[in-house]
Structure 1
Amino acid sequence: MDALTIPRLRARLRSPALARRLAAEALRDGPVGQEARERLGRSDVARPQGILLWVHAPLGTDPLALLSLQDLLEQELDEVHILLTTDALPEAVTGSATGTMISQHPPLEADRPVQRFLDHWSPDVSIWLGTVDSPILLGRTAGRNIPLFLQDAVAPDAVGGRARNVQRTMFGLFDRILALDSRHSDGIRGLGAIPARIEVTGPLERLHKPPHSLEAEREALAAQLHARPVWLAACPSEPEVGIVLRAHAQALRTAHRLLLILVPVADHIGPAMAEELVSHGWSVARREAGEDPENNTDVFIVDCLEELGLCYRLAPVTYLGGTIAGGDVQDPMGPATLGSAIIAGPVGGNEEPALAKLAAADACRRISGAKDLGPAVIDLLSPEAAATLSLHAWDTASEGVDVLNRLTHHVLVALRGRGL
């Protein structure tokens, strides 16, 4: 009796009643029926032609990290499709097929659903993320000689007896184990996993591509600025425009030639914003009106969101709009990849994880509220202070590259070994 026999027997004892319930639910329309069919190993989505990379993420993952992996693979291969099985994606994503990424619930941990799942999808390579669960699914996948990789590998809690044997056997089914850190690597090795198959890479993260900008445009605008000090307010929400202008007025007392580049949250509000600022005594130029910043221009409105990358490259300091009074927040990795020091308020919104990561690496200046924006701008107008933040931000935005490159290498070797 091998180490996986006991958990398989337990799964078989539990599965009949659940399978009967799922079979009844599978006849229904809507998300309930769709999930039930997927749990039974059936799918409403056909297997795409070509290479299929199956990613199993029990605890969820960032889909954009998988798209980054896909991009790197497609630099060497024809079109690569990704199947993601997880219970932890938002409902709007789970069970969908978008472009070349398909998302499904994993099959029930029982022989027939697992066999149907593998028969239907017939993946060329499988990557498991984080926790090693589902011994039947894992064992049947290995039994079909599908290359298996464990990324973001973590060591399980200490156990003994049969449970330890099960864990050792499951880890032994992976061709390569890429651990989160040395502590988890040591823990997995302590279970008896083959040391030569284990390496420490860190977590799988999305590859942050710099926002688009044309070097010729940057050079032309930089020449027009005549080496003036510049800071950027990137998409401030409506209540924040006044906050930004008060901070600019405060900073002007210290840096008299300071220019504020202001990118509105939407292109169409640029004209009205310019009129409002002029009515309050500001000297304004608006890019979409064909106006260039002059020596006496206080505010340069760039009312074209597509040029946000250009603005990041021009301004050594960026305030991320929406982080003081709330609103949509731009991806902070945009300015991070283009060398602009970031100021952000306490409201991170959907970008809070990225902002917290940057702040922890001393790569972002977090402020408590509106009164702190002006002093933060003044402080970061010092080239040394801004350079320190932007250098740390670049390092943080780039740190996932090696992990992606390493995983891409292993997947390519496995695919070529299968003649693909």
Structure 2
Amino acid sequence: MTSERKSRNALSLRTYRAASGMMGPLADLTLKHRLKHGKEDPDRVNERRGIATIARPDGPLVWIHGASVGESLSILPLVARLSVLRRDLQFLVTSGTVTSARLMATRLPDNATHQFSPLDHPAYVRRFLDHWQPDAAMFVESELWPNLIQMTAARDIPMALVNGRISPKSYNSWKQRPDAIHALLSAFQVRMAQDTPNKERLAELSDGDVAMFGNLKMAAPALPVTQTDLSALEEQVRTRPRWLAASTHPGEEEYVLDAHTRVSERFPDLLTIIAPRHPERGEEIAGLIRARGLRVARRAAGEDITADTQVYLADTLGELGLFYRLSDVAFVGGSIVETGGHNPLEPARLRSAILYGPYTFNFTETYRDMRASGGTALVRNERDLAAALVRLLTDDMTRDAMADRARNWAEDNAEEVLINIVEALMPVLPAPHEPG
């Protein structure tokens, strides 16, 4: 890198750091707004300011950071495998959502603890690092916060980018600031992408080596469920034909409701379950459903599924494991609108026949390979979606074969991916701790 480029790098990121440093009042307003809307835990909001609520454990500490539920779930097998290989390690897992925090509270092992990640304000990041003093840091997927990365690197903490992802939109944006993204990615001693397209984008932006062993989410455990909740819903649904539209975004519910109307001509007692990606949209989506003349029950309102219910709106957090288990057929959202698709491995592990739309750039190779195995089917519009639903709800043999192929593909790939990722992380880990 030329000295001129290094200078531009320094200027760009120094400007960001200076600007973010002056935004303490804005950061506080942001936290207050998020608290008001239930997006922060009022008992732990100071963690977002870098103020720890528990003591640092003794011994070498590995910090693993992911944004939300999907990344947090993918961390679990990584922590488990590293714990077996290095029994002296302690783990700090950070994320930024209330749902992921609740999930981690019940699923992390005894040698790991969860904290909310600090907002990317220099003072907050400094407090966080001063308290935790991690011996290694791993950032999962696309959490490229400049202060968090640069201030960690400045302390000579070895860093790895795990399951790296840069969406096409972010890639085009970063290309306008090549020096800044190069500096951020260069802070990582190890860079691993989740698939070939992301490897190519990260390699170009970093101008360095990027490994690719597959998607870490392949190794994540099945989404959890409370058996009492599942039994209650199974009793309400009984033998009705049903399907799930999971993680839907604005603009997709219309496709789902159009498909419901078409399919209900063949199956008058059809139950469509909609689990929006953002449950706070519940009232908005309920309005769309009622405007179609359809009868809706809302989970967030505690409403049961009755014989008259046509659409069940699963507008709650952290319950996808429940609804995937309830439905033999699942459409995975974020894929008919250009969001890039959500994780098909979650329904695959729970033996759902999987449908998806044309926009899957977040999981390009996963969808491609799973479709080649016969475990998924592409639907491009509401007519395709309705036709696929009629076939799968009519033909038990086809539906079961599709679900089995999806689950087998997910299971067959999980172990190899995890082994290779863990091996690549070994150079970043602290030296083994010798008990005194």
- Which bracket does the TM-score occupy, shorter chain normalised? 0.5 to 0.7
1:79 maps to: 90
Report the CA distance shift for 1:64/1:266 in structure 2 as closer, same or farther (over 3 A). closer
Structure showing greater radius of gyration is: 1
Is residue 243 of structure 1 aligned with residue 295 of structure 2? Answer: no
1:397 maps to: 410
2:78 maps to: 69
Q: SS in structure 2 opposite 1:304?
A: coil
Q: SS in structure 2 opposite 1:393?
A: helix
Is residue 317 of structure 1 aligned with residue 329 of structure 2? Answer: yes
Is residue 343 of structure 1 aligned with residue 395 of structure 2? Answer: no
Correspondence for 1:92 among 144, 155, 159: 144
1:303 maps to: 315
Is residue 234 of structure 1 aligned with residue 246 of structure 2? Answer: yes
Q: SS in structure 2 opposite 1:400?
A: helix
1:363 maps to: 375
Q: SS in structure 1 opposite 2:251?
A: helix
Is residue 388 of structure 1 aligned with residue 401 of structure 2? Answer: yes
Report the CA distance shift for 1:259/1:96 in structure 2 as closer, same or farther (over 3 A). same
Q: SS in structure 2 opposite 1:305?
A: coil
1:265-287 CA-to-partner distances (Å, cap 9, x unmatched) read: 43233234324423432122222
Q: SS in structure 2 opposite 1:375?
A: helix
Residue type matched to 2:380 in 1? Answer: S
Q: SS in structure 1 opposite 2:318?
A: helix
Distance 1:53 1:289 in 2: 41
Q: CA deviation at 1:418?
A: 7.7
Residue type matched to 1:384 in 2? Answer: M
1:236-281 CA-to-partner distances (Å, cap 9, x unmatched) read: 3332222211211222222232210112343233234324423432
Give matches, 1:18-33, under 5 Å: 21=3, 25=7, 28=10, 31=13
Distance 1:27 1:276 in 2: 48
CA contact (8 A) 2:253 2:285 kept: no
Give matches, 1:266-277, under 5 Å: 266-277=278-289
2:23 maps to: none
Distance 2:301 2:7 in 1: 59
Distance 1:357 1:95 in 2: 37
Distance 1:221 1:307 in 2: 12
Q: SS in structure 1 opposite 2:403?
A: helix
Q: CA deviation at 1:404?
A: 2.5
Give matches, 1:12-51, under 5 Å: 21=3, 25=7, 28=10, 31=13, 50-51=59-60
Distance 1:331 1:26 in 2: 37
Distance 1:360 1:288 in 2: 38
RMSD over equivalenced CA pairs, Å: 4.8
Q: CA deviation at 1:219?
A: 1.1
Residue type matched to 2:79 in 1? Answer: Q
Report the CA distance shift for 1:213/1:331 in structure 2 as closer, same or farther (over 3 A). same
Q: CA deviation at 1:407?
A: 7.2
Residue type matched to 1:285 in 2? Answer: A
Distance 1:217 1:64 in 2: 21
1:57 maps to: none
Residue type matched to 1:74 in 2? Answer: S
Distance 2:385 2:264 in 1: 13
CA contact (8 A) 1:26 1:32 kept: no
Q: CA deviation at 1:71?
A: 4.0
Structure 2: give runs of 5+ residues left out of the alignment.
17-56, 64-70, 92-133, 164-189, 194-210
1:312-333 CA-to-partner distances (Å, cap 9, x unmatched) read: 1111111122312334633222
Give matches, 1:147-296, under 5 Å: 205-206=216-217, 207-296=219-308
Distance 1:289 1:93 in 2: 37
Q: SS in structure 2 opposite 1:242?
A: helix
Give aligned-pair identity as a percent. 26
1:208-241 CA-to-partner distances (Å, cap 9, x unmatched) read: 2322321211111011111211101113333222
Residue type matched to 2:83 in 1? Answer: E
What number of residue pairs does the alignment pair up? 298
Q: CA deviation at 1:96?
A: 3.9
Residue type matched to 1:221 in 2? Answer: L
Distance 2:290 2:434 in 1: 66
Residue type matched to 1:385 in 2? Answer: T
CA contact (8 A) 2:244 2:330 kept: yes
1:79-138 CA-to-partner distances (Å, cap 9, x unmatched) read: 15674799xx9692578459xxx9759xxxxxxxxxxx9xx56x7xx9999xxxxxxxxx
CA contact (8 A) 1:251 1:378 kept: yes
Residue type matched to 2:81 in 1? Answer: L
1:334 maps to: 346
CA contact (8 A) 1:25 1:32 kept: no
Report the CA distance shift for 1:92/1:272 in structure 2 as closer, same or farther (over 3 A). closer
CA contact (8 A) 1:324 1:370 kept: no
Report the CA distance shift for 1:127/1:292 in structure 2 as closer, same or farther (over 3 A). closer
Q: TM-score, normalised by structure 1?
A: 0.56
Q: SS in structure 2 opposite 1:256?
A: coil
Residue type matched to 1:404 in 2? Answer: L
Distance 1:343 1:308 in 2: 16
CA contact (8 A) 1:363 1:392 kept: yes
Q: TM-score, normalised by structure 2?
A: 0.54
CA contact (8 A) 1:208 1:397 kept: no
CA contact (8 A) 1:329 1:349 kept: yes
Which stretch shifts more, 309-318 or 390-399?
A: 390-399
Structure 1: give runs of 5+ residues left out of the alignment.
1-16, 35-47, 55-61, 106-116, 130-148, 153-178, 181-201
Residue type matched to 2:270 in 1? Answer: L
Report the CA distance shift for 1:343/1:243 in structure 2 as closer, same or farther (over 3 A). same
Distance 1:247 1:296 in 2: 18
Report the CA distance shift for 1:127/1:82 in structure 2 as closer, same or farther (over 3 A). farther
1:195 maps to: none
Report the CA distance shift for 1:408/1:350 in structure 2 as closer, same or farther (over 3 A). closer
Distance 2:9 2:358 in 1: 48
